[in-house]
Structure 1
Amino acid sequence: MRTLLLLCLAAIGFASCKKERQPAVPTPLPPVPVDTTTVAVTDSFAKGADVSWITEMEAAGRRFYNSAGAEMEGMALLKSLGMNTIRLRVWVNPAGGWNGKNDVLAKALRAKALGMRVMVDFHYSDSWADPGQQTKPAAWAALNLQGLKGALAAHTVDILSALRTAGVTPEWVQVGNETNNGMLWPEGRASSNMAAYAALVDTGYVAVKSVFPAAKVIVHVSNGWDNGLFTWNIGGLVSNGARFDVIGLSVYPTLSNWATTNGEVAMNMNNMAARYNKHVMVVEVGMPWDSPQECGPFIADLIRKTRAVPNRKGLGVLYWEPQAYGGWKGYTLGAFDNSGKPTPALAAFQ
């Protein structure tokens, strides 16, 4: 995420979220009846959302409604709006269980039942991992680099094996979240030990492929317009032998500069695809929920630009927590209004 937005969110929302003791993960609610009939899909472009908060929102009494006011299960509602992909974050030992193995599995099964594609996003932390914090899980705190590699591999295999046993096959797996300066600090801080960061990414790659050989492994970096950052980070990984399949980007522009930002993102995606012969994918986007007149054109333009990456190397665009509404966790970059209905901005996914 853009640094200013990230700092603001950390101050007003995320930080408080991490301090509170969350309730135990509930048994998933009985789903609202929906039509899960699937049709042949000829377009492989991923259009979707990270909805990792959805079970916690439901447990707190939040509900979701279509534009006509009819209640719908949240993932089914997003599918009805043209989305085909669900992204789910994974924390190692989170407070209350949210984003832990059981919670992730429950959400993944719901996505599968709807015929939606699944992306798994490993944070390798007990809570948020992002450009400003890559905190080791408490259980891994005393481990050196070799120990961290072993713990990372075991955790990755454990989560993915649970999904495989349940019949869920993720199409993409992120090894780390917004790893602008590496992961699992201080050992994996890229600015001080790029080789260690690369070794951790490669360990994740091997772990993913051991369970799902066909899954595409993503390295995710924020500020998708910053070609210098991406060249340093991705170039450092490549030069140190890290294996991965896809370069993931976050794009959170300001209301006034989204068109310029999208142009810079397009140039960066094209450069990354050509320079490193990798696919690219926008795995996070967001804009203030009460500005759909800017957000809709922003998303539509970004989808066009991602589709236009040469040789079909642009894989998709995903919104981050669009269903978050009513001041949930202090987050204001969703795409639902305060009544729990999607804003017109999400029409861009259709």
Structure 2
Amino acid sequence: MKRRTAIGAAGLGALGVAAASATPALAEALGDKGGPRPDTFVRGADISGLIKNEDYGAVYRKANGRTGDAVKILASSGVDLVRAKVWVDPADGYNTATQVVELGTRAKRAGMDLMVDFHYSDAWADPGKQFKPAAWAELPFEDLVSAVYDHTADVLGALADAGVEPALVQVGNETNGGLLWPDGRWDQLEQMARLLTAGCDAVHDTAPGAKAMLHLAEGGDNGAFRWFFDNAVANGVPFDAIGASYYPYWHGPLSGLEANLNDLAVRYGKPIYVVETAYPFTTGDSDGFANIITDPEPVAGYPASPENQSYWLEAVAEVVRNVPDGLGRGVIWWEATWTGVEGAGWDPADPASGNGWENQALFDFDGKALPGLRTLGKL
């Protein structure tokens, strides 16, 4: 699929943290596109690892212990959206357009929406690494811009062919420091904006009913969000929504998340989602591979437990619901179905890698739905 229009960029945005309120120029650039709409509050679950888990023998159970299809269990619990990441050419063949289409089709059949999370990489992309796909490594910048558009449009086009139109599409994953380094790194703001614009344009052209979202980690860091989104606006990136990751054991107190999201709503007028959050239900391990969170009390006063997993979910959702002007639109639990199964580890290039996240899934070590899943469905 070819790009519809040439992608331009306005002047370079300020590098420093912007003033406390939106400037007239910023408000004019934003226009009326981000005004609140009567959307429902999203109760979502990232299930990017589900198909690989299933292929390696994972079993999922309802709260009563009966086995069932994980997607149907999510839907029956009240979850109304699933999130799925997409990589360009991963070594293990998972998290490609093929799996996104399968998950999107299953979600649709279960009455749920789909959110697509483009990493623009062959493996994990986050604030510490934004590596180009191998096939794009030597592309001149103009061809790299086209590759972003074409890849985004191709995946969304495959979904359209399957009768699935996503509700939300992330253009990049946790792009605090940019994407597709070094071309779109934080110190190449015009080029970063052009790459983000290419992805947003592909969303609008190929899935016109979806919101194009930009997503950062560190949901309590208002300075980082202002810097990034001020520059996105100054450079004309046509995004429709803002996504944040917030993990309470890494990203500071809830008061920081609240202050940041409230400020973003007033400043940019866009729908806001916490698209990644989690908390451990245990410090135990099921696969012999060290967990990422091992502290028995990840946040002081809140030991790892099923009850505190539910507590943090409710607490984050309350912050999002109270965002001004109804712009807080939902919460998504990260990798809700990623239970510990041999062979379904984190590294696509290493079949022996394990899962460091199974103690933060919404299914226990026997594959049974935890109370947190019901909590998510009732937010």
Name the TM-score, length of structure 1 as normaliser: 0.84
Cα deviation digits, residues 18-57 of structure 1 (max 9, x gap): xxxxxxxxxxxxxxxxxxxxxxxx9711101010111100
Query: What is the aligned counterpart of 2:371 among 332, 344, 349?
Result: 344
Please tell me the residue identity of whatever aligns with 2:361: G
Aligned to 1:152, what secondary structure does the other structure show? Answer: helix
Verify the 8 A CA contact 1:288 1:335 in the aligned structure 2: no
Is residue 2:204 matched to residue 1:204? no
Aligned to 1:120, what secondary structure does the other structure show? Answer: strand
Q: CA deviation at 1:67?
A: 1.3
Verify the 8 A CA contact 2:39 2:329 in the aligned structure 1: no
Structure 1 partner of 2:248: 253
Question: In the aligned structure 2, how far is the partner of 1:292 from the partner of 1:223?
Answer: 24
Query: What is the aligned counterpart of 2:173 among 164, 172, 177?
Result: 177
Structure 1 partner of 2:215: 220
* % identical equivalent positions: 41
Aligned to 2:163, what secondary structure does the other structure show? Answer: coil
Query: What is the aligned counterpart of 1:275 among 250, 253, 267?
Result: 267
Structure 2 partner of 1:164: 160
Query: What is the aligned counterpart of 1:329 among 355, 359, 366?
Result: 355
Question: In the aligned structure 1, how far is the partner of 2:281 from the partner of 2:217?
Answer: 20
Q: CA deviation at 1:144?
A: 2.5
Q: Choose between structure 1 and 2 for higher RCO, CA contacts under 8 A separated by at least 6 residues.
A: 2
Question: In the aligned structure 1, how far is the partner of 2:140 from the partner of 2:326?
Answer: 40
Q: CA deviation at 1:342?
A: 2.0
Query: What is the aligned counterpart of 2:258 among 255, 266, 269?
Result: 266
Query: What is the aligned counterpart of 1:303 among 314, 317, 320?
Result: 317
Q: CA deviation at 1:284?
A: 0.5
Please tell me the residue identity of whatever aligns with 2:177: N
Query: What is the aligned counterpart of 1:87 among 75, 83, 90?
Result: 83
Question: In the aligned structure 1, how far is the partner of 2:50 from the partner of 2:373?
Answer: 17
Aligned to 2:131, what secondary structure does the other structure show? Answer: coil
Query: What is the aligned counterpart of 1:125 among 100, 121, 126?
Result: 121
Verify the 8 A CA contact 1:250 1:285 in the aligned structure 2: yes
Please tell me the residue identity of whatever aligns with 2:200: Y
Return structure 1 stretches of 4+ with deviation > 3 angstroms. none
Question: In the aligned structure 2, how far is the partner of 1:64 from the partner of 1:230?
Answer: 37
Structure 1 partner of 2:31: none
Structure 2 partner of 1:55: 51
More helix by share: 1
Please tell me the residue identity of whatever aligns with 1:171: A
Query: What is the aligned counterpart of 1:286 among 265, 278, 293?
Result: 278
Cα deviation digits, residues 285-341 of structure 1 (max 9, x gap): 111132222221111121122111122111100001112223762223222211111
Please tell me the residue identity of whatever aligns with 2:191: A
Q: CA deviation at 1:239?
A: 1.4
Unmatched tracts of structure 2, length 5 or more: 1-37, 283-304, 342-353
Question: In the aligned structure 1, how far is the partner of 2:76 from the partner of 2:39?
Answer: 16
Verify the 8 A CA contact 1:227 1:268 in the aligned structure 2: yes
Question: In the aligned structure 2, how far is the partner of 1:43 from the partner of 1:203?
Answer: 26
Question: In the aligned structure 2, how far is the partner of 1:281 from the partner of 1:261?
Answer: 17
Query: What is the aligned counterpart of 1:241 among 196, 212, 236?
Result: 236
Please tell me the residue identity of whatever aligns with 1:299: L
Structure 1 partner of 2:4: none
Q: Which has the larger radius of gyration?
A: 2
Verify the 8 A CA contact 1:97 1:103 in the aligned structure 2: no
Name the TM-score, length of structure 2 as normaliser: 0.78
Query: What is the aligned counterpart of 2:140 among 139, 144, 155?
Result: 144
Q: CA deviation at 1:253?
A: 1.2
Unmatched tracts of structure 1, length 5 or more: 1-41
